[in-house]
Amino acid sequence: MRKYLIITACLLPLLTQAQQPKLVVGVVVDQMRYDYLTRFWDRYGDQGFKKIINNGFNCKNTHYNYMPTYTAPGHASIYTGTTPENHGIIANTWFDKTTNTLVYCTSDNTMTTVGSTSEYGKMSPHRLISTTMTDELKLATNSKGKVIGISIKDRGAILPAGHRADAAYWFEGGASGKWISSSYYNQQLPEWLTKLNDSKPAEKYLNQSWETLYPISSYTQSISDNNPYEVLFKTEKQPVFPHNLPALRDSNDNYSLIKSTPFGNTILKELAMATIENEKLGQDAYTDFLAVSFSSPDYIGHQFGPMSVEVEDTYLRLDKELAELLSFLEKKVGKENFLLFLTADHGAVNVPQYLTDNHLPGGYFNEGLLEMELNTFLSKKFNVEGLVANTSNFQVFLNNSLIQANNWNTALIENAVAEFLLQQEGIAKVITSNALRETELTDRIMANAQRGFNPSRSGNILYILESGWIPSVSHQGTTHGSPYNYDTHVPLLWYGSKVKKGETDKLVVIPDIAATVSSLINIQFPSACTGQPINDLIK
């Protein structure tokens, strides 16, 4: 028996090291619906999306299993392997019930900006209350494995990188046009990144027009380029190609303009390759992790909508960026030495005005007007002013301090609010916090609402809009956030080390990603992980 134990102890580390990927690359495409893979399939090249799908594993039925489907909760859920009820990132910005103020998911006034004199680097992951798979990698390697997060958006870099990251970098627009960071990670940028910033990475792309990659007549998956559903760039007369970026810079916050073009993806790809090169990721015995979040598709999707030529062109260009990144990884690290997954933080609904013009369900809900009308209703019913503290993120926050000071029945007030909400056009379902705490919901849509509910941070009443409805007064552009398929169904592709070729139609939920990666690289699951490994894809 003793001999058996000695042999096992000797063999296990050798087996683990031999099977371990040297680099994990997590790619998140901000606002990528699953149907962007199928709609544009015939126009993709062989070395980008098609290469990953044809030579990797495609989870075709992957969904977010909570609401609201926003950027910050999406990235947090991918990397923690759980939902907002456990990781605490309930929105991008939310109403803080303890301070009665709005807080941003990654803001941290105890930090300072690194790489700039602005306030945009005063950030950290301190509001994330679960570990991430990147945190667990740091623990498993005794901090010898490097973890770096990069994105145009701060939250797209910070939340995936977790609490123990070596670095996180994001793009500062305006007059800066630089990659910046926070003192949470380091007191200064590495020399290689300072040199990259000195080269003004966005400059050459903003000194050209955004033309379609191919003749515009070939964009048959999109509606007319000149249509009434798109938001104009400031000073632009029509939402049509070509978009004259040099002429638009001054009126669209200079370097910030690149965020709303496909070239935001280009400079992020260049940063990804520079990071791998200069930080020597995947070059030693310890697994490293690079979290890459392409933010520009979200800015473009909000502005132009899923049926626009702009969105189609963005994905055709992104396909080429992915092809270049994959080629770089295979040459620099080796296909059998890296593991890559690609997913999205949410989808998007078609522009509601476009839906209604085509006799499909859709509409607009005025959330600002709701707060005013609800306060009026409650003041009449209960003969008291100011019972509603805030309405945001499909939630109503009551003035709990006022209710407690007067020893009023919270459940009675919540039920009155729920009855009022159900009478409003565009609201489909309502549930109170008391009901969410006392009942485990099984209906898919309502269960999604429950998994997005964090008792210490969420509001008193949650409501769900009808399919195709968004909280907006503008009839151009679109958004996301709902529990419906257009917001929850996203790609999930796997490629590289330990991944077999194939696909599955089985339901996969976003928390399964962290569980799967953790299994593939032999680390502990994140602390609050509720996902399960996707065994079908493991070689």
Tens digit of pLDDT for each residue in 78-92?
999 999 999 999 999
Residue 195's pLDDT is 98
User: For residues 164 and 136, what is the distance between their CA atoms, to the nearest angstrom?
Assistant: 9
The string of pLDDT tens digits covering residues 450-495 is 999 999 999 999 999 999 999 999 999 999 999 999 999 999 999 9
Query: What is the dihedral sign for C-alpha 372, 101, 294, 344?
Result: negative
Q: Which residues neighbour 191 within 8 Å (Cβ) at sequence distance 6 or greater?
A: none
Q: Which residues pair with 391 in a beta bridge?
A: 396
Res 1: pLDDT: 35
Which residues in the chain show pLDDT less than 50? 1-18
Give me the pLDDT at residue 5, please: 36
> What confidence score (pLDDT) does residue 19 get?
72
Helices (H), 279-409: 296-304, 309-332, 352-357, 367-382, 400-405
Q: What is the pLDDT of residues 407-464, one digit of tens each?
A: 999 999 999 999 999 999 999 999 999 999 999 999 999 999 999 999 999 999 999 9
Length of the chain: 539
Are the beta carbons of 511 and 76 closer than 8 angstroms? no
**Strands 395-398 and 461-465, how do they pair?**
antiparallel
Fold annotation for 366-425+427-465: Gyrase A; domain 2 (3.30.1360)
Instruction: Please check whether residue 75 is in contact with residue 293, taking contact to mean a CB–CB distance below 8 angstroms.
Output: yes
* Partners of residue 507 on adjacent β-strands: 61
Extract the runs of DSSP E, i.e. beta strands, from 91-190: 93-96, 101-104, 113-114, 147-151, 167-172, 178-182
| C-alpha dihedral, 518 to 522 to 527 to 530, nearest 10° | 40
Q: Are 516 and 537 in contact (CB under 8 A)?
A: yes
- Please state the domain extents for the chain: 2-352+496-537, 366-425+427-465
CATH architecture, domain 2-352+496-537: 3-Layer(aba) Sandwich (3.40)
386 exposure class (CB count in 10 Å sphere: 0-12, 13-18, 19+): exposed
Residues annotated as catalytic are 71
